[in-house]
A and B are shown apart, each in its own frame.
Chain A
Amino acid sequence: MRRTQRFGRAVAFPLFFLGLLVAWELSITVFKIPRYILPRPTEVAVAARADVPLLLRYTVVTGTETVLGYAVALVVALPLGLAIAFSGLLRRTVYPTLVSLEMVPKIAFAPIFISWLGFGLLPKVIIVFLVCFFPIVLNAVAGFVSLSEELTRFTRATGAGTWRAFFKIRLPAALPQCFVGFKYAAMNASVGATIAEFIGSDQGLGFYIQISTGNMRPDLAFAAIFLLALLGLGMFGLVTLAERLLIPWDISQRRIRGKN
């Protein structure tokens, strides 16, 4: 009984997803939708197979932009978030500046960066960086300033020095909130790369989608969209894996709290 239940839970999502694809396939026949408007999933698969080398090369291009932008954002935003959380001066100057900049759609900068820096890798990395930077920094600040009054007092009463208090209390306590930012950024990183490619590029999956759509080949565009989805999923999966390794306790705690 339990085994069949577990099996049922495990296959529920793949079956549902497969059902959606079948519904898509059938609705094209039923509603007689022409191929240049919306291709069938099977047509997308066939078209993609014919263009595998280019699609893979472009996946690597867009993937590189995404991963680099994300990594740089992580390396810059996390220490900055820490600095803001622990410095009253930065919290009164840099922090409100960042919060106001957060309101600006980062993509709006893309044409400017491309006009400055050309069609290459760098402007895309910068756009991805901008998209990822804000959620990471803001969530890191939130995580590091939200230590409970009780834990703050408890730590003070032990006489622990700054570093010991940081590594034993403050850092682990802040990590769950930090990961909210890491995950949000991971979901949006490839969005930044794709849009930057739309605006000005000569390679990458975003570029490929634009060209295919212009050539009335939505089947190829959908193939690229599928690869972008995989890229986003991969990024998210990696961050989730890191979360599982670094703060397994938070995940078990959420599971128990969720049940109550």
Chain B
Amino acid sequence: MPHIDIRNVVKRFDTADGPVHAFGPATIAVERGEFVSLVGPSGCGKSTLLLMIAGLLAPSDGSISVDGRIVAGTRTDVGIMFQDNTLVPWRSVRRNIELQLELRGMDPRGSRARIDTLLETVGLHDFANRAPFELSGGMQQRAAFCQAMVHEPDTVLLDEPLGKLDAMTREKIRADLQRLWLQTRTTVLLVTHSIEEAVQLSSKVCIITPRPGRLDGVIDINLPWPRDITVKRSPEFAAYVSEIGDVFHRYGEI
């Protein structure tokens, strides 16, 4: 039984002009501890799928189950991160990470060491007491990773977390993200429109077609970990990237 079982999921939104088909159908099985990317062009509904996995949206058809139990309502065992981060300006970086625990009614004092380790892993230990708006965009996203991970979630859902960053910062944070995942081996679902990002980080890449997004195919990425610059320069890496690129080329996307 897969950890997350997405079966024939379809999402339609009711609008003034009638129902709009936003996503699906798609059937995806995610095993525990996998890093799965959902790659597709803008507007294909991949973020919608992520929200459905979090239980923040209900599928119109089909079902999503976690460990065999159908998701019917907001899941509280996930860590979510968006393109626009959820750091609040009235708390320091450390207190923002603690916010995740406080909202859950947990005492953050018990997690000091864990927060220190997280901050250390992403290189933010010297910035723990800074306000988010004093940090660069890349540092803010690193802090947001810690916020999404601190409660040891069952699943981490990342909705284009690097979308607004410049190419160089993105590169660095991908490495941080990979290190964090290799340490924790939490199940991660990443929504991205970068093929390279998906191939570098994922054990499995799901290709989502243009609107309305359907699942075109799933590709297992069999490359060694950690995937640093040498792996990225390998012909195998390039082969994966062009294989996925070809699919979007067929759809006239690239």
Residues of A within 8 A of B (CB): 148, 150-151, 153-160, 164-165, 168-169, 172-173, 247, 249-250, 252-253, 256-257
Contacts and interface: CB of A to CB of B under 8 A. Distances in A.
B134 A168 contact: no
Contacts of B133: 252-253, 256-257
Interface string B64-78: 000000000011101
B51 interface: yes
Nearest to B132: A253
* Closest CB pairs A-B (n = 6): A159-B76, A158-B103, A160-B103, A154-B86, A249-B90, A150-B82
Given A153-B80, A157-B75, A164-B105, A172 B56 contact: no
B131 A252 contact: yes
Contacts of A155: 103
A157 B88 contact: no
Contacts of B99: 168
B100 interface: yes
Size bin of chain B's contact surface: 20 to 34
Contacts, number: 62
A154 B80 contact: yes
A249 B87 CA distance: 13
Contacts of B88: 151, 169, 172-173
B237 to A, nearest CB: 32
Contact of B103 (A164, A173, A256, A257): A164
Nearest to A155: B103
Nearest to A257: B133
Contacts of A157: 54, 56, 74-76, 78, 80
B87 to A, nearest CB: 10
Given A157-B54, A164-B103, A257-B133, A249 B89 contact: yes
A249 B131 contact: yes
Given A164-B103, A168-B103, A150 B89 contact: no
Nearest to B100: A158
A252 B132 CA distance: 11
A79 to B, nearest CB: 22
Main secondary structure on A side of the interface with B:
helix
Contact of A168 (B82, B84, B102): B102
A249 B129 CA distance: 13
B250 interface: no
B104 interface: yes
Contact of B51 (A151, A153, A159): A153
Contact of A158 (B51, B84, B89, B104): B104
Contacts of B74: 156-157, 159
Interface of B: 51, 54, 56, 74-76, 78, 80, 82, 84-86, 88-90, 99-100, 102-105, 131, 133-134
Contacts of B82: 150, 153-154
Contact of B56 (A153, A164, A165): A153
A150 B85 contact: yes
A165 B100 CA distance: 11
A250 B89 contact: yes
B39 to A, nearest CB: 22
B103 A165 contact: yes
14 contacts: A150-B86, A153-B54, A153-B56, A156-B56, A157-B75, A164-B102, A164-B105, A168-B99, A172-B90, A173-B88, A249-B90, A250-B89, A252-B133, A253-B131
A135 to B, nearest CB: 23
Contacts of B100: 158
A156 B131 CA distance: 24
Nearest to B148: A154
B104 A159 contact: yes
Contacts of A256: 133-134
A151 B102 contact: no
Nearest to A173: B88
B90 A247 contact: yes
Contacts of B75: 157
A244 B134 CA distance: 18
A184 B105 CA distance: 37
Nearest to B83: A150
A35 B54 CA distance: 76
Nearest to B74: A156
B119 to A, nearest CB: 19
A172 B88 CA distance: 9
Contacts of B134: 256
Contacts of B102: 164, 168
B186 to A, nearest CB: 15
A160 B80 contact: no
Contacts of B76: 157-159
Nearest to B85: A150
Given A150-B85, A157-B75, A256-B134, 12 more contacts: A157-B56, A157-B76, A158-B100, A159-B103, A160-B103, A164-B103, A168-B99, A168-B103, A169-B103, A172-B88, A173-B88, A249-B89
